[in-house]
Amino acid sequence: MEYKIQFHPLALQEFLSLDKGVQNLVKKQLEKLKVSPQLGEELGVKNNIDLSGYRKMYANRKHIRIVYSILQEIVTINIIAIGKREDMEVYKIAEERK
């Protein structure tokens, strides 16, 4: 079974703002998620950011994080944020969008 990839509108903007080389690296990771959504590491509560129920996957040698949830009932991977970890920014953005 293959999952569908769905982007939060702002996560799509984040993806499109990446340079083409980094976009290709993210695309490769998303293709992996389509067939194995459990590949990413589970997130929880860290630095007062609660992302319980969400997962993360790395791209571009761990410079980019992909934060997502798995929507089993509609067989979809929901991408809520893409960005760098610096100052926990990508996780703060993800928490706002959940």
In this prediction, residues 25-49 reach a mean pLDDT of: 96
Q: Which two tokens stand for residue 31?
A: 């293709």
- The residue whose two tokens read 């997502």 is 68
Count the domains in the chain: 1
pTM for this model (two decimals): 0.86
Q: Which CATH number is 80's domain given?
A: 3.30.2310.20
pLDDT confidence bin for 85, thresholds 50/70/90: confident
**pLDDT digits 0-9 by tens, 67-81:** 999 998 899 999 999
What range does the domain containing 61 cover?
4-97
